[in-house]
Structure 1
Amino acid sequence: MNDSTREIPGAGETREAAEPATAAVTDPAAPAPLGVPRTPTGHAGVDAGLERLADADHLPADGHIEVYEDVHRGLRETLTALDNAPTPAPVPAPVPPHDNRS
């Protein structure tokens, strides 16, 4: 076989073989959820990142990096926002009562 007679990848494949649902049933290497529980933290920004991780369950491994980078970016923004949040003004210490017995 020379360069002019190379086969084109995917040529001759049937439509059914290209369907993701069929691939998941017949291909044990198809993406499948890991079943890792994601417990809400109560912080909206962090919880949104945890939910975004669920998107990786339905992608092949080479698609995970995009999801992980997106979640990492979101968590960094959340932490930065916490650092930049205004701090409450300090509360003055109570002044002890003055004793007039002298």
Structure 2
Amino acid sequence: MSEAPDLPFDGTDPAAAGEPAGARWEAEPQPLGVEFTPTGHPEVDAALGRLPALDGVPASAHAAVYEDVHRSLTATLTALDGPDPQDDPPR
């Protein structure tokens, strides 16, 4: 199985247009305009609060932050499946 070529969104081939490789991808990072609305759950808010910091950061750095946020949210959801410490009978 061959991989699809890394073409711009418009499907044109920059090499065929005489542009150097990567020429269309060197633009300055633009603000994403991410707005954060607190959920009221401290762990979720801490994880999601990292996303607005990506404004103006090159896209190549986004994946690591997204993966960390996903890991944090997964851990928070997994913890909800555990026993509730308030359910333990008194000793």
**What is the TM-score with the length of structure 2 in the denominator?**
0.59
Moved over 4 A (4+): none
Give the superposed CA RMSD: 2.1
Residue matched to 2:74:
76
Residue matched to 1:54:
52
1:49 Cα deviation (Å)?
A: 1.1
Number of paired residues?
62
1:85, 1:32 → 2: CA distance?
Answer: 44
2:29, 2:43 → 1: CA distance?
Answer: 27
Larger radius of gyration: 1
Higher relative contact order (CA 8 A, sep 6+): 2
1:88 pairs with 2:72: no
**What is the TM-score with the length of structure 1 in the denominator?**
0.53
Contact 1:40–1:47, Cα closer than 8 Å, also in 2: yes
Higher share in helix:
1
Contact 2:34–2:51, Cα closer than 8 Å, also in 1: no
* Aligned-pair identity (%): 56
